[in-house]
Amino acid sequence: MTEADSRYEPERRRPLGGDTIYRWLTAGFGLLVLAILGLMLFEMAQGSLPSLAKSGWSFISGKDWDAVQGNFGALPFIFGSVVSAVLAILVATPLSVATALFITEIAPKKVGGVIASLVELLAAIPSVIYGLWGVLVMAPWLQQSVQPWLIDHLGFLPFFSGAPFGASRMAGVLIQAIMIIPIITAICREVLLAVPQSQREAAVALGATKWEMIRIAVLPYGRSGVLGAVILGLGRAIGETMAVTMVIGNSPLISMSLLSPAYTMPSVIANEFAEATNALHSAALMEIGLILLFVTLAVNVLARVMIWSVTRGAKGGVA
Amino acid sequence: MNAKVTLEKMSVHFGANHAVKGVDLDFAANSVTAIIGPSGCGKSTLLRAINRMHDLVPSARVSGRIMLDSHDIYERSIDPVAIRRKIGMVFQKPNPFPAMSIYDNVIAGYKLNNGVQRSVADEIVESCLKRVALWDEVKDRLKTSAMDLSGGQQQRLCIARTIAVQPEVILMDEPCSALDPIATLKIEELIDELKERYTIIIVTHNMQQAARVSDATAFMYLGELVESGATRKIFTTPEKRQTEDYITGRFG
């Protein structure tokens, strides 16, 4: 080989290399998601125009929902959705975090693994099955056992006044809570597993008991992740349709009582879309969908702000 | 010699793996004992047995006896949590609590054991940070995150956190291995000061460090204690061939 043969000859970049194609392909799909969201918003806004024009702001503030008379006030549904979801989160969060803590910190590894996979299995059960159980088993039990007791002993509180309905806000909240427990637990477990062993050791070496170790080292380290799990659960709870529709009683009432029937935004859409024959009615349902979208969005933004303010200044941790 | 901690035929098993094999060793009060040896020789495992950290590992089993002032710390009736308050530990990588401020980190362990009054806590934080020579560097930002500190500062913070619990023995598991030379020097000076109040046992794979900071040295190899004695003697006239080979750098 002569010296001239081994001279460096640069290879030129090909104009349409694999990386270029790949970049445009992935960018295209990424934009597609945004486009779908945009289109959905546009369609829903357009579809709700008749209702927007007729009802204006009274759509949000009105309490009367009468498709026959053409009165559409969605406040009972908005109230029902938000209140039920928040209550469901209050019920589900302690249970979920405790379950996740048991799996990661307390149970022997094998037992924890079995429970973790069972919890994930729960998340795979179709919601109509939860609903069926709720309406056939839980609601009658609430009506015959739990609610009468509450009325007798705590009836002086506005939350437990009225007659025992069975299918009630209480049933809706419980079914929502049961349904979001698996997802919150599963995410919390991942978050807690990601807490470094060195953090646990730090606490234990200071003379912390197991509970103190969890309190000062494990939970603070994973707090933003746990909050994230709760928010995801909240989103699920607000959007949950089938099971809630089956047990919540479906009456557009605004009542403080947990025993009274209630209604949610997804439920009214599911119940009425088939019979919404006139344009105004279907526009009103469309507008509820739009509000549901915005409420979910607002909850998420609020939650992000919350996470941000809690973790502000603290570095590290599991996001 | 007044022994603060005594190991008697102490063994550690992880499942079928016999990691520390029947070690007899005394640690003198108010002195620094270094445990040296090549990676995997069981020196960290031995150290962690002394404050019952192996309780966290289901497969670990400690046998023999570990005496703290003539009490066997593995006796059934003894509370391991109370033992760890007497025998503190500093780890290889600085591990401050990231969600806590500098102030809260220092007081974290103390708070667990005692109800804290504000003024008492302030005093403890100040005195502990002064003892680890961190006070002047952080006194104006006690409420900021501990994660804003450098690695060396974090390790000194962890030492402050440990001494705030008022232990009698401090275990250090390669406390400088994640630090730069200047930070290492500061920690070594600190160890020298701390031995006035505490009994210090330090694991290190850095022989120069062992020679610099310790009064006594124990050399371990393959889970066994090969030789122990005054540091000067171990490093100048070791009795065993293996020890000599290791400290002269022929293996390890």
**Chain A neighbors of B53, CB-CB under 8 A:** 201, 204-205
B242 min Cα distance to partner chain A (Å): 33
Mean pLDDT of chain A: 88
Summarize pLDDT for B197-229 with one digit per residue, the tens: 999 999 998 888 999 999 999 999 999 999 999
The pLDDT of residue A314 is 47
Which of A199, A205, A220 faces B88 most closely, judged by CB atoms?
A205
Query: Which superfamily is assigned to A94-311 in CATH?
Result: MetI-like (1.10.3720.10)
* Confidence bin at A303 (pLDDT 50/70/90): confident
* Confidence bin at B157 (pLDDT 50/70/90): very high
Give the type of residue at B203: V
In this model, does residue B172 exceed pLDDT 70? yes
Summarize pLDDT for A231-280 with one digit per residue, the tens: 889 988 998 888 999 999 888 888 888 888 999 999 999 999 888 888 88
In 3-state terms, what secondary structure has residue A110? helix
The pLDDT of residue B249 is 82
Cα A208 from Cα A206, distance rounded (Å): 6
Cα nearest neighbour of B166 on chain A: A206
Cα nearest neighbour of A210 on chain B: B81
What is the rounded average pLDDT of the residues B50-62? 91
Give the pair of three-digit tokens for residue A288.
């509820």
The pLDDT of residue A163 is 84
* Contact predicate B141/B158, CB 8 Å: no
* B59 in reach of chain A (CB within 8 A): no
The pLDDT of residue B212 is 92
Mean pLDDT of chain B: 91
* Confidence bin at A3 (pLDDT 50/70/90): low
In chain B the domains, ranked by start, together with CATH numbers, are 3-247 (3.40.50.300)
B135 min Cα distance to partner chain A (Å): 21
The pLDDT of residue A17 is 79
The pLDDT of residue B252 is 55
- Sort residue B69 into left (φ over 0), alpha (ψ -120 to 50) or beta: left
Q: Of all residues in chain A, what percent carry a pLDDT higher than 90?
A: 55
Which of A199, A207, A216 faces B95 most closely, judged by CB atoms?
A199
Cα B105 from Cα B173, distance rounded (Å): 20
* Contact predicate A221/A316, CB 8 Å: yes
In 3-state terms, what secondary structure has residue A233? helix
Strand order in the sheet with B60-68: B17-28, B3-14, B60-68, B71-72
* A281 in reach of chain B (CB within 8 A): no
- Sort residue B5 into left (φ over 0), alpha (ψ -120 to 50) or beta: beta
Summarize pLDDT for A123-158 with one digit per residue, the tens: 889 999 999 999 999 999 999 999 999 988 888 888
Q: Of all residues in chain A, what percent carry a pLDDT higher than 70?
A: 95
Write a three-state SS string for B108-159.
HHHHHHCCCCHHHHHHHHHHHHHHCCCHHHHHHHCCCEHHHCCHHHHHHHHH
* Confidence bin at A312 (pLDDT 50/70/90): low
Neighbours of A214 (CB within 10 A): 21
In this model, does residue A71 exceed pLDDT 70? yes
- Out of A27-41, A156-170, B209-223, pick the least confident: A156-170
Which of A200, A201, A208 faces B112 most closely, judged by CB atoms?
A208
* A213 in reach of chain B (CB within 8 A): no
The pLDDT of residue A313 is 45
Kindly list the domain boundaries of chain A, sorted by start residue. Answer: 94-311
* Confidence bin at B250 (pLDDT 50/70/90): confident
* B56 in reach of chain A (CB within 8 A): yes
HSE, CB side, 13 Å, CA atoms: give it for residue B246: 27
Number of residue pairs across A and B with CB atoms under 8 Å? 83
In 3-state terms, what secondary structure has residue B250? coil
B-interface mutation test, from A206, A210, A311, most B Cβ less than 10 A away? A206
Q: How far is CA A226 from CA A7, A307, A311, B6, B51, in A?
A: 60, 10, 12, 44, 31
* A12 in reach of chain B (CB within 8 A): no
Q: What are phi and psi of B101, to 5 degrees?
A: -75, 170
The pLDDT of residue A317 is 45
Q: How far is CA B162 from CA A206, B167, B192, in A?
A: 6, 7, 16
The pLDDT of residue B248 is 86
* Confidence bin at A319 (pLDDT 50/70/90): very low
Residue-wise DSSP of B160-214: HHHHHT--SEEEEESTTTTS-HHHHHHHHHHHHHHTTTSEEEEE-S-HHHHHHH-
Residue at token pair 């708070």: B111
Cα B195 from Cα B172, distance rounded (Å): 12
